[in-house]
Chains A and B, each alone.
Chain A
Amino acid sequence: MVRSEAEAQDVVQETFMSAFRKLDSYRAEAPFRGWLFRIASNASLMRLRTRRRRPEVSMVLRRPSCSEDDCHQRPVVDLRPLVSKSLEDEEPGERLRRSTDALPDKYRSVLVLSDFDHRAMKEIEEELGLSVSAVKTRLHRTRLSIRKDLEGYLAGQV
């Protein structure tokens, strides 16, 4: 979420130190992993709030272009060939990580909490202090932007 490896290391350290200090508040009936992830994402969000703002990048809504009576003026590229690959070291994985790294913080944090941490909308809303509709708008824009980037990547590969 914080993008830089050095900052991520600090966040992990803060997370474990904080978890150690708050261990008394951990309720055994809740999954420990989830509790730890929540501390980590709070630490990450705290860093995003306090650090110098990155220059704002405009996030255009990247839906298929529609005219009055027609839509999908270009064919939709099938992303299935990428799904079967391991993205860890592959070029498309790197491309995807670059795309997510380039996102403005306010879009990236929503994406990470939703599509990586699998948090519920209500949780994201509370954690980021946003309305559900604002979370949904950001998430939709971000997903469409990433989908478009992957489509561009695959189209360029063919």
Chain B
Amino acid sequence: MLRCDAAVDMLLDAHDGTLSSQGRQALKGHLSQCPSCTAFQRSYEHSITLTAQALAVKLPTQVSARIYTGMTQRFRRECAQSPRTDGGSRSC
């Protein structure tokens, strides 16, 4: 019988779908007899969902504005430094 710590170490591959069929069988067998590991697996999956949610922070409006201003300045600076190859006026 699989130990709980070994079962916990299979959760990453189980989540990614890369666990071997033998591993899947062993984990399934263990979970069917271990309510704590079943609860642990559920909380492991929930923590992945929560991490993705927490990291997806909306960009504050003022940050977008600062990025836009900074980009415009950089673009103008780079454009001014770039050599003119056709002798004409810069399009940027």
Interface residues of A (CB under 8 A from B): 5, 9-10, 12-13, 16-17, 20, 63-64, 66, 71-72, 75-80, 82-83, 86-88, 92-93, 96-97, 100, 111-112, 115-116, 121, 136, 139-140, 143-144, 146-147, 150-151
Contacts and interface: CB of A to CB of B under 8 A. Distances in A.
A76 B8 contact: no
Chain A binding surface SS class:
helix
B47 A16 contact: no
A87 B50 contact: yes
Contacts, number: 116
Nearest to A112: B55
A20 B43 CA distance: 42
Given A63-B8, A116-B51, A143-B44, 12 more contacts: A12-B67, A16-B71, A63-B5, A76-B43, A79-B42, A83-B50, A87-B54, A93-B53, A96-B51, A100-B55, A115-B52, A143-B48
Contact of B8 (A64, A88, A96, A112): A64
Nearest to B7: A71
Listed residue (B12, B37, B51) with the most chain A CB atoms within 10 angstroms of its CB: B51
Contacts of B63: 5, 9
B51 A146 contact: yes
6 nearest CB pairs, A to B = A71-B4, A72-B36, A79-B46, A96-B54, A147-B47, A76-B39
Contacts of A75: 36, 39
A5 B70 CA distance: 14
Contacts of B3: 66, 71
A79 B66 contact: no
B55 A97 contact: yes
